[in-house]
Amino acid sequence: MNVQVSMIFLFGLIFGSFLNVCIYRLPKKQSIVWPGSHCPSCKNSIPFWQNIPVLSYIFLAGKCANCKFRISPIYPLVEILTGILLVVVWQHYGLTLSFLHYSILVLFLLPISFIDLDTRLILNVLTFPGIIVGLLSSVFLNQIPILNVVSGLFLGGGFLWCVGLLGNSVFKQESMGGGDIKLGAMIGVFLGPKVLIALFLAFFLALPVIAIGLSTKRLKIGSTVPFGPFISLAAVIIVCYGQALLHQYLNFVGSL
């Protein structure tokens, strides 16, 4: 396998390991730097050789070495997913500043999505820094004109805000959380005006899942669905396949 791919995947695993700490601790308002890694059950601190991404999970058979508490498979999953996503972004941008820019976006989207799945919350402690970092990264790394960055911010946040207002009047209850709106704004800062395509795509991705949920009665009218993972997935698709999709679309329209 290509050396670059392996290195990027390895970096992904290491970053993923840190994202796990964020996913586990941020919703509990705990520090992500102190104390070091410890078992959530027996509080025993985890030495570094038991804290190697993925490998330790396999060697310890998914259990704490001290108390045999079962470690969630979400941990290695997040690590592998981070590795894969960084490799996918690299395939599209190579080792460029744009690769760095979109990798930063991925590293924000992963903890936001997993925390949303787990707690139904999109935390300000991630979206606010995401907006600031995205602004700087867009201007200095990806070299997007500042006007595009600002319009992305308002289009992303504004679109979901409008959808929320519409939903409120149709369903007579809060339909779009403030967290989703801030996430839309954050992605807008990274993507510029293309954020609108990503948000449309997010609704298309969410619709079949909601339809299946309703038809199998696992969802009821009025129950909440975490929307963050759909917005995040759509953003990654647009980052990597946006050009190809646009091409397909134009070809399709041209053939009509």
**At CB < 8 A and 24+ separation, what contacts does 130-134 make?**
130/186, 130/189, 131/182, 131/185, 131/186, 131/189, 133/104, 133/108, 134/104, 134/105, 134/108, 134/186, 134/189, 134/190
Window contacting Zn ion (CB under 5 A); options: 56-64, 98-106, 155-163, 196-204: 56-64
Shorter beta-carbon distance to Zn ion: residue 51 or 66:
66
Nearest approach, Cβ of residue 60 and Zn ion (Å): 10
Q: How far is the CB of 32 from Zn ion (least distance, A)?
A: 20
Q: Could you tell me the smallest distance in angstroms from the CB atom of residue 56 to Zn ion?
A: 13
Nearer to Zn ion, 60 or 245 (CB): 60
Interatomic CA distance for residues 226 and 121, integer angstroms:
8
Strand partners of residue 70: 63
Q: Is 45 in the site for Zn ion (CB under 5 A)?
A: no
Question: Per rule CB under 5 A, is residue 162 in the interface with Zn ion?
Answer: no
Q: List, in order, residues 6 or more apart from 87 with CB less than 8 Å away.
A: 5, 8, 9, 12
Nearest one of 234, 231, 236 to 116, comparing CA atoms = 231
Q: Which stretch binds Zn ion (CB under 5 A): 25-33, 38-46, 170-178, 210-218?
A: 38-46
Per the listing, tokens 């960055």 go with 149
Among 7, 10, 42, 250, binds Zn ion (CB under 5 A): 42
If binding is defined by CB under 5 A, does position 62 make contact with Zn ion? Answer: no
User: Interface with Zn ion by CB under 5 A: which residues?
Assistant: 39, 41-42, 64, 66-67, 69
